[in-house]
Structure 1
């Protein structure tokens, strides 16, 4: 199986639903951050198909990990939300709508 390593991610050519996610990452100048994330998660490399599936089906998670847009991940329950969908407590702290724990930025 062909492996794609973090030092060649810039040469990766996405397909189908992964294209827009990859283009957003490039536009936001977060390709190095994606490389770092992939290196931590997959130190032995990752197949192009697996990377494409992550970018296609887990785009909200990828954006939250890379700090793109308004996507945030709750450190307690792991759910991912648009920042606009977060609840707020009486002190103005942002809370996870799922578990009501404070969202750390």
Structure 2
């Protein structure tokens, strides 16, 4: 197992490290999301499955290379976005039960 397969979260990376991480994960057909806020992060943001430039002060190049723009330096909504998406996905993929409405209530 390579190091990249054991890592879930990386912080305080250089732009080169961000790009290396994204490219390494892509070679393994993994999904990744990346945050950044500068011109140097633009290439990694563009290559990532989900690029998230952070902050109102974020450089325009980073914003143009990204999928979602976080305007207030607050990542709390990302956890909500992920959790809400997982809930919807779980409901959507559950097999429907045709006679569900005919069943008696369960205490």
Q: TM-score range by the shorter chain?
A: under 0.3
Give me the TM-score of the superposition, normalised by structure 1. 0.24
Which structure has more relative contact order (CA 8 Å, sep 6+)? It is 1
Give me the TM-score of the superposition, normalised by structure 2. 0.23
Higher share in strand = 1
